[in-house]
Chain A
């Protein structure tokens, strides 16, 4: 009786439970802070293309907001060929010199044809207002790709065309561009480390005798992507994306334009769920926007778009439906 505290050695810790199931096959869990792996500097990963350096931020922060009604129907005729029909009825903003927004009511029907092959992609769209968009992507070799973009209009001097030659190396990518109006451009991006890649671009506009140079950097890990771009045209663009999980990411970007003396920063979220994708953002100019794509059924998506500019008192709401892939 009585509490006789035994001074014997503390009871041995309970034995670890026997390994069952997968634990037998898998190696034991390492500590949280594993030792850093040795970096193979001659085998760095290939960086993203230069024009896609901010793709995560653009995907989250720049959804295709619209005002009005949108209906897209895509019909696949066979494995490679499909046709698409699109109707849009609403207002489109016309860029104006003053700060007031200038909207033009627009309605158009767009017919499209797509040919998708592993090595060749052809996409064409023709609109009721006479515009034709064409895109070609052709893998000439395993590392060399040719891309052609063309926009043809009825109005003289408004048509545009661009040829891009992309070469993918082991740890670098380079691109050469030729466009109408004597436009020549080139860019190069190189992996410096497994997480960091640096790039540069240069362009020359023949008709206007203008040239420019720009530099870009991208740092990415599993959890985040940070990019920065500076151009001699007076643009500084920074972005940061935090991947919270597979379904959720948060993004923020900052853009300063020295020529127009304009600076904008935005913060947004991107929720990719099983039945829907919801993106929203808040701007330093007082703009709040949201874009929802809800999957109602197999191949049927319902779209809602909203953009509220509190400063200019401009409210844009749109709804639409997408049928087919």
Chain B
């Protein structure tokens, strides 16, 4: 318990130094929304989910509603 409380104090100290310091906040906060909402900078997992989702959804649509596209 003592060790965990000491490490929690260190963590709190680190976080407050990052957040309260003006320069560090400018550095960290800018990238945060970019990572979540960027269209160009996706992680591999996000790309994999997007591609797998398109593949699976297209198969489901093709099998169930493909006849609608017939001429």
B55→A253 contact, CB < 8 A? yes
| Total contacting residues, chain B, CB less than 8 A | 19
Shortest Cβ distance from B43 into chain A, in angstroms? 10
Residues of B within 8 A of A311 (CB): 39-40
B-contact bits for A176-213, CB 8 A (1 contact / 0 none)? 00000000000000000000000000000000000000
B-contact bits for A209-251, CB 8 A (1 contact / 0 none)? 0000000000000001000000000000010101011011010
Docked Cα-Cα span, A242 to B58, in Å, equals: 10
B39→A244 contact, CB < 8 A? no
Q: Is B69 an interface residue (CB 8 A)?
A: yes
Q: Is B63 an interface residue (CB 8 A)?
A: yes
Q: Is A271 an interface residue (CB 8 A)?
A: yes
B44→A261 contact, CB < 8 A? yes
Within 46-63 of B, Cβ neighbours of A (below 8 Å) are at 47-48, 50-52, 54-55, 58-59, 62-63
B62→A250 contact, CB < 8 A? yes
Chain B residue nearest to A311 in the complex (CB): B40
Residues of A within 8 A of B23 (CB): none
B71→A245 contact, CB < 8 A? yes
Looking at the complex, which one of B39, B50, B55, B62 makes contact with A238 (CB distance below 8 Å)? B55
Residues of A within 8 A of B69 (CB): 244, 248, 250, 269
Docked Cα-Cα span, A242 to B70, in Å, equals: 11
Docked Cα-Cα span, A311 to B51, in Å, equals: 15
B51→A254 contact, CB < 8 A? yes
Q: Is A267 an interface residue (CB 8 A)?
A: yes
Shortest Cβ distance from A134 into chain B, in angstroms? 38
| Total contacting residues, chain A, CB less than 8 A | 26
Q: Is B22 an interface residue (CB 8 A)?
A: no
Q: Is A256 an interface residue (CB 8 A)?
A: yes
B71→A263 contact, CB < 8 A? no
B62→A240 contact, CB < 8 A? yes
B62→A252 contact, CB < 8 A? yes
Docked Cα-Cα span, A284 to B49, in Å, equals: 10
B63→A242 contact, CB < 8 A? yes
Q: Is B67 an interface residue (CB 8 A)?
A: yes
Looking at the complex, which one of A224, A248, A265 makes contact with B51 (CB distance below 8 Å)? A265
Q: Is A296 an interface residue (CB 8 A)?
A: no
Looking at the complex, which one of B44, B47, B52, B66 makes contact with A242 (CB distance below 8 Å)? B66
Shortest Cβ distance from A175 into chain B, in angstroms? 29
Docked Cα-Cα span, A254 to B69, in Å, equals: 22
Residues of B within 8 A of A245 (CB): 70-71
Shortest Cβ distance from A250 into chain B, in angstroms? 5
A263→B48 contact, CB < 8 A? yes
A250→B66 contact, CB < 8 A? yes
Residues of A within 8 A of B40 (CB): 311
Q: Is A92 an interface residue (CB 8 A)?
A: no
Shortest Cβ distance from B48 into chain A, in angstroms? 5
Docked Cα-Cα span, A151 to B6, in Å, equals: 68
Shortest Cβ distance from A270 into chain B, in angstroms? 11
Chain B residue nearest to A255 in the complex (CB): B51
A252→B58 contact, CB < 8 A? yes
24 A-B pairs with CB atoms under 8 Å apart are: A238-B55, A240-B55, A240-B58, A240-B59, A242-B62, A242-B63, A242-B66, A247-B71, A250-B58, A250-B66, A252-B58, A252-B62, A253-B55, A254-B55, A256-B48, A263-B47, A263-B52, A265-B52, A267-B58, A271-B71, A284-B47, A284-B50, A311-B39, A311-B40
The residues of B with any CB-CB pair to A shorter than 8 Å are 39-40, 44, 47-48, 50-52, 54-55, 58-59, 62-63, 66-67, 69-71
The residues of A with any CB-CB pair to B shorter than 8 Å are 224, 238, 240, 242, 244-245, 247-248, 250, 252-254, 256, 261-267, 269, 271, 273, 284, 286, 311
